[in-house]
A = this chain, B = another copy of it.
Amino acid sequence: MYKVSRQREWIYDYIQSHPDRHMSVEEIYEGLKAENREVSVATVYRNLKILQDENRIASLMLESGKQVFDKTCRPHDHLICTTCQKIFDLDMPYDRSIERKAEHQLHIPIESHSLVLYGTCADCLQKKGKV
């Protein structure tokens, strides 16, 4: 159905090559431009949708309503640092026991969950300690 396109691969590569960031549409658009890989905004929007549809990337909606993109579709939780606001993918095993526990309490089948932790990331913790 979808064909390969140069622009789509630029976008995909850009996300993969910044694994520690979770970027918004605008950040991706501006970032590519800065690398002399300018793509029109419309194309960025269209391709981010297609990449999600192909399960090559995932997206995460922040409480602010800003959508950011994740390099992987593998289920995992997130940490949002309440100091620097950075978003981290957690290596902590995605915990199905949370779902099993809820099933027992609610008596309904649970298929998946979304967990975001808010706290201070290791970097910020270290910086605070140094003051």
Name A residues whose Cβ lies closer than 8 Å to a Cβ of B.
61-65, 67, 79, 82, 90, 92, 98-99, 102-103, 105-122, 125
Residues of B within 8 A of A61 (CB): 61-65
User: Please, how many angstroms separate the alpha-carbon atoms of A110 and B92 in the complex?
Assistant: 14
- Distance in angstroms from A85 CB to nearest chain B CB is 14
- The 8 A-B residue pairs with the shortest CB-CB distance, nearest first, are A110-B119, A114-B116, A112-B118, A113-B117, A61-B63, A92-B105, A110-B117, A111-B118
Chain B residues in 8 Å Cβ range of A116:
113-114
User: Within 8 Å CB of A121, what residues of B?
Assistant: 108
A108 to B86, CA, bound (A): 14
Residue of B nearest to A122 (CB): B108
* Complex Cα–Cα for A113 and B95 (A): 14
Contact present for B90 and A106 (CB under 8 Å) = yes
Q: Which B residues are in CB contact (< 8 Å) with A92?
A: 102, 105-106
The answer for the CA separation of A108 and B90 in the assembled complex, in Å, is: 12
Q: List 17 A-B contacts (CB under 8 A).
A: A61-B61, A61-B64, A65-B67, A82-B111, A92-B102, A102-B119, A103-B119, A106-B119, A107-B122, A108-B122, A110-B117, A112-B118, A113-B115, A113-B118, A114-B114, A114-B116, A115-B115
